Structure 1
Amino acid sequence: MTTLSRLVIARRWWVVGLWVALTAFGAFAAPKATERLTFDFGLPGQPAYETNVDILEAFGSGGNGAPVLLVVGDGTRELPDQTAGAVAETVARAAPKARIATWADDPDLLFADGKTGVVLVYPVPVASDQPYAPALSALRPAAEQLTAELGTPVVVTGRDALNFEEDDTSGSALAETLAGGIGAAVVLTLVFGSFLALMPLVVAAASILTTFAILWGLTGLTDVSFVVQYLLALIGLGVAIDYALLLVTRWREETGNGASPEEAVRSAMSTAGRSVLFSGITVAVSLAALIAVPVPFIRSVGYTGLLIPILSVAASLTLLPALLLILGQRLSWPHRRTTDPESRLWRGVGRFVVRYRWISAVVAAVALIVLALPSFGLRLGQATNDSIAAGSGAPAAAIRVLAGDGPGAGLSAPVEILTDSPESLLPRLRMMDGVGGVASPGQWRSANGEYVVDVWTQDDANSRSGAAVAAEIRDVAEGLGARVGGIPAQDEDFISSVYGSAGWILVAIVVVTFVLLAAALRSIVLPAKALLLNVISLGAAFGVTVWIWQGGHGTELLFDRQPSGAVTVWIPIAIFAFLFGLSMDYEVFLLSRIKEEHDAGHSTDEATVHGVARTGRLVTSAALILFLAFVSLSQIPTADVKILATGLALGIIIDATVVRGVLAPALVAALGPANWWWPFRHRKVTSDD
């Protein structure tokens, strides 16, 4: 750190100029990078995915795409086959080359009373996060026209239809970042009470835009998922501000003690800068572990996750010190807050926790364990129909009536089967318990002679019972020599592919993180304790997420949504990767300050109180900024993104308050001298090491 400090002090204007150029290039590259992002959630090599690819190639639609459903009739009069034909003709004109099935083709698409029917439509998808957007934009007015011509309601519904709004302008990474930035600006203003609040925002902007520039190059080498633009922008905002906040706070402390700006930079870099470096490496390692997951879109999240902390650290350790040297004293106006980083509130918390260490540790641990208990009931899958059918509109009502006397709730996500002999398969499938129906129109035949057969469950395919029946359908079909695709089968393969190798990935993360923290803290006990607390913290985050979304406690109040009934298959590993790294950030901030105070001659108890008092406000402010960023992310209408944002937002708050504010310092105080055991201590370690 000493060498880097000297370089930045001597070449401050060159450093600022370089970052200005990088930021400008990043602003140019960001829109180009987002244009090249992909929307593929594929699993190359997995049987369901490969079957879905073959279905899409042979028929132009379907596979891992859910069908659009047109519910025809109001239950007052029987529907003749001519009505089915009229609807099919109109649909074919509105959505050319779509794959269509009606109750005239397959009676299983007719309600039990014969007065309501369903037309199953697989439009040709486009490369977008809304693959059916063009088709839905054409089908909705077509349905209104049919309603007028036939004198009976025709309602467009289905999973994609309920998630799609023509006038929806949300979901922009720039918009979500701007919303998070506004929240961050408010928090930083309260923390600093001066124009120094601008410094972390400038660092965040530089690191985010520069990361987008690298991402643009990365899209030329590999597929990068559209999901990363949101994670890059909002995680980048939080991480960069975290690091800048720590350094600026330490710089203010040193200048408040009479140090010159240059001396303050050197001191801040040798203390807070060292914490930032190790924190960034730890976050990068945890996120880079996603690269080992054998799923391309998860790997792209890992690549981006590796870049975010590296660029944030680079900007914090070069651009920020240079700006503090050039503008720091000017931006310290109007001195609304003391330069002493100690908080009276957090000093009181620290004293209480140290005095009642065992009580504090037990109460905090019990609270976290209680929060974590729902995670044992975690069920991986897609959101249920009830969850996506929020509100009281006609499309929401239409998808809900599929259950009961309807064809079956599983019609919203059928199992798709490729076979060259449907006549041997259909009777067996129709006899299975829990099957809602089968559709196999004669025109669903490919050029090479294969047929596609749709089978759906009576219960929602994303419910526990529906998923079990879908798995049985797959077993029977594969046993008869057919190939099975569709959403249920691909989700099943995703779970086995990703979580089957999760154990080795977790072991690798734990080992590397332990080594890094041990080297940073010169202790064996502190890293072990930090990893244990991270496990407890993650368990609490998962538990609360499951309790809210899967259990349905507060989804209507907070999000105007029905409970999902499951947590989307990719979300837990994403929550783990991001929360593990971000939580370790706060642990390093706290433990580094405690160790610094202990190395200065304080007892473990005194060092713990000082550490909590001097980092408590910083950690809670940083966590609040991230919390606000994730709240802005939750405004994206997609249920999956809302679930992810919920887990990240609540996980950050739980970790920064209960874990780092109470449990971590209580355990440090309880362990006493054991915290500092380091078997390799042969010489005195200085800040320059």
Structure 2
Amino acid sequence: MLGRYVTRAPRRILAGSVLLFLLAGVLAATVIEALALNRYEAPGSESLRARAALAEQFGTSTSNVALLVTATDGGSVDDADVAAAGAALTDRLAAEPGVGDAWSYWSDGAATLRSEDGRHALVLAWVPGDADHVRGDVLPALTERFAGTDGPVEVAIGGGDEVFRVVAEQARADFLRAEIVILPLVGALLWLVYRRLGPALVTLGIGLFSVVGTLAILRVVTLFTEVSTFASNIALVMGIGLGVDYGLFVTYRFREELARGLPVPDAVRVAVAGAGRTVLFSGATVAASLAVLFVFPFPFLSSFAYAGIAVVLTAVVGATVILPAALMLLGHRAARRAGRGRAERETGFWFRVSTAVMRRPVVSGAAALVVLLGLGAPAAGVDFGSPDDRVLPAGQPVRDLYDTVRAEFATEDADAVQVVAPSLPDAEIAPYAAALSELDGVERVDSAAGAFAGGARIAAAADPGRYADGTGAWFAVV
């Protein structure tokens, strides 16, 4: 039925498709700014409840901003002028609009906030608010005010939100670069495949339709829920990939039917009925697989599902409706060049490969299995982890900051785990901190009763009131 409709009204279909493409382009042009810089958080999780309790009861939370302070001219962070500058920097940061709390080596006296060579120290801060506010409003202002040389110290800006602010900027820049590289490359490959400009441009156009259509759909989705900025990259990569892939299915079937001598309308109908069914089944399978991502409570993963399903929808529509209409108008201009018909199919490389496989199916299957196992062998030792600054290329300032922290600091206090006990009596703080410090993998626990390691108290608390309010307490576990 679809094939018959396409062959009856190809010009109307293409005119409507062009209009739809232009309207989608208007929506797609605004999508990047509407996408969110969301965090890797699950709404309603225990960690978010603990963070909310920290903010409400104690006026602090997990640090999401870090300043690496380096003494200039080879000095030490314990030098009088450097210490005074560091303390003043901590106070200035705490007083900045949007900053909820700030602490440092100079305010807390925590030795682990000082590098082992004494040249660096950390100032940590908590900036409340969602990721868009912190990364879009507060961090650029803090970078402008604090980054750079300030008297005897040099300051670099880091923290989890700064890392992923830079990652998001990198993703947006990569999106534009990828468009510049991918489209001409895919166009050239399609010309090599078809040896004709018409079908190459039409197939590439289906990929573009999928990308622009997906971005437009994402723009609509952002009106109702949060969508990650990385969804745009999924739209580009999958849109070009699926759009071109599905286009190749339909176009090759159309060319085969022309080579068999069918008239153009009949060739289009057969291509839609045969290859179109394959495209629909493939699209349904991919969409169903991506829908599984909705099971996970992370907006980041849900965004991939929105983008992926939208890509499938637009690619399927493009390959089964728009492309056949274009082939109907191209007609024999989309056919193989003379001399590349039946003879080529019966003597070409893929004909010889398939013939050899059918002659020895067991040997061929075993060889393919060995190759697949070899390719998959490295996955046996894969070590999954959360993304951090190391996803950025070397040379990025925030990557350099954390390279310094990993190399020069005994522990990474910026990534400390906060344990919140909203109704813990003061008398139980020390025993609880000691018990926490005995857990495997724990280097130190900071609390109102002091710092603990290996079950023993190793230092007094510089500011006991910071960790307790008389009705409850919280602990920083490093």
TM-score by length of 2: 0.79
Q: Which residue does 1:596 correspond to in 2?
A: none
The alignment partner of 2:135 has SS state of: coil
The structural deviation recorded for 1:190 is: 0.5
Determine whether 1:379 maps to 2:380. no
The structural deviation recorded for 1:426 is: 4.2
CA distance in 1, matches of 2:130, 2:230: 17
The structural deviation recorded for 1:57 is: 6.7
Q: Which residue does 1:52 correspond to in 2?
A: 51
> Are the aligned partners of 2:287 and 2:309 in contact in 1 as well (CA < 8 Å)?
yes
Determine whether 1:119 maps to 2:136. no
Q: Which residue does 2:2 correspond to in 1?
A: 4
2:442 to 435, 445, 450: 435
CA distance in 1, matches of 2:26, 2:110: 56
Give matches, 1:414-493, under 5 Å.
Answer: 414-420=416-422, 421=424, 423-424=429-430, 425-430=432-437, 434-438=441-445, 453-456=475-478
Residues 161 and 215 (structure 1 numbering): CA distance in 2 closer, same or farther, change over 3 Å? Answer: closer
Give matches, 1:255-266, under 5 Å.
Answer: 255-266=258-269
Residues 280 and 7 (structure 1 numbering): CA distance in 2 closer, same or farther, change over 3 Å? Answer: same
Q: Which residue does 1:314 correspond to in 2?
A: 317
1:13 to 6, 11, 14: 11
CA distance in 2, matches of 1:50, 1:358: 57
The alignment partner of 1:171 has SS state of: helix
The alignment partner of 1:101 has SS state of: strand
Determine whether 1:97 maps to 2:95. no
Q: Which residue does 2:286 correspond to in 1?
A: 283
Q: Which residue does 2:243 correspond to in 1?
A: 240
The structural deviation recorded for 1:285 is: 1.8
Give matches, 1:83-482, under 5 Å.
Answer: 83-92=85-94, 96-104=98-106, 105-108=108-111, 109-112=113-116, 116-124=120-128, 127-128=131-132, 131=135, 134-135=138-139, 138-139=142-143, 142-146=146-150, 149-150=151-152, 152-158=153-159, 161=162, 171=172, 173=175, 175-195=177-197, 196-330=199-333, 335=337, 338-339=340-341, 342=345, 344-383=348-387, 387=390, 391=394, 396=399, 398-403=401-406, 406-408=409-411, 410-420=412-422, 421=424, 423-424=429-430, 425-430=432-437, 434-438=441-445, 453-456=475-478
CA distance in 2, matches of 1:443, 1:30: 51
> Are the aligned partners of 1:353 and 1:360 in contact in 2 as well (CA < 8 Å)?
yes
Gaps (5+ residues) in structure 2?
A: 448-462
CA distance in 1, matches of 2:391, 2:69: 17
Question: What whole-Å deviation, never above 9, does each CA across 1:262-287 have from its counterpart, x for those lacking one?
Answer: 12112212222222222222222222
Percent of aligned positions with the same letter in both sequences? 24
The structural deviation recorded for 1:204 is: 2.1
Give matches, 1:515-594, under 5 Å.
Answer: none
The structural deviation recorded for 1:56 is: 5.9
CA distance in 1, matches of 2:391, 2:278: 43
Q: Which residue does 2:460 correspond to in 1?
A: none
Q: Please state which structure has a larger fraction of its residues in strand.
A: 2
Aligned length: 447
Question: What whole-Å deviation, never above 9, does each CA across 1:171-221 have from its counterpart, x for those lacking one?
Answer: 254553443222211110101111210111222222333333333333333
The structural deviation recorded for 1:92 is: 4.0
CA distance in 2, matches of 1:121, 1:94: 11
Residues 144 and 308 (structure 1 numbering): CA distance in 2 closer, same or farther, change over 3 Å? Answer: closer
Between stretches 441-450 and 352-361, larger displacement belongs to 441-450
The structural deviation recorded for 1:95 is: 6.6
Residues 327 and 217 (structure 1 numbering): CA distance in 2 closer, same or farther, change over 3 Å? Answer: same
CA distance in 1, matches of 2:131, 2:407: 35
Residues 443 and 178 (structure 1 numbering): CA distance in 2 closer, same or farther, change over 3 Å? Answer: farther
Between stretches 417-426 and 270-279, larger displacement belongs to 417-426
TM-score by length of 1: 0.57
The alignment partner of 1:131 has SS state of: helix
> Are the aligned partners of 1:389 and 1:397 in contact in 2 as well (CA < 8 Å)?
no
The structural deviation recorded for 1:297 is: 3.5
Question: What whole-Å deviation, never above 9, does each CA across 1:418-450 have from its counterpart, x for those lacking one?
Answer: 344584454544565643445565675799976
Q: Which residue does 1:568 correspond to in 2?
A: none
CA distance in 1, matches of 2:180, 2:468: 48
CA distance in 1, matches of 2:172, 2:59: 28
Give matches, 1:668-687, under 5 Å.
Answer: none
Question: What whole-Å deviation, never above 9, does each CA across 1:342-381 have from its counterpart, x for those lacking one?
Answer: 3712222223323333222222212222332332333332
The alignment partner of 1:145 has SS state of: strand
Residues 273 and 164 (structure 1 numbering): CA distance in 2 closer, same or farther, change over 3 Å? Answer: closer
> Are the aligned partners of 1:90 and 1:142 in contact in 2 as well (CA < 8 Å)?
no
Structure (1 or 2) with the larger CA radius of gyration = 2
The alignment partner of 1:120 has SS state of: strand
The structural deviation recorded for 1:34 is: 3.7
Amino acid at match of 1:338: R
CA distance in 2, matches of 1:347, 1:177: 35
CA distance in 1, matches of 2:214, 2:282: 18
CA distance in 1, matches of 2:222, 2:128: 25
CA distance in 2, matches of 1:32, 1:384: 28
Residues 443 and 27 (structure 1 numbering): CA distance in 2 closer, same or farther, change over 3 Å? Answer: farther
CA distance in 1, matches of 2:161, 2:228: 19
CA distance in 2, matches of 1:131, 1:336: 59
Q: RMSD across aligned C-alpha pairs, in angstroms? A: 3.7
The alignment partner of 2:386 has SS state of: coil
Amino acid at match of 1:49: L
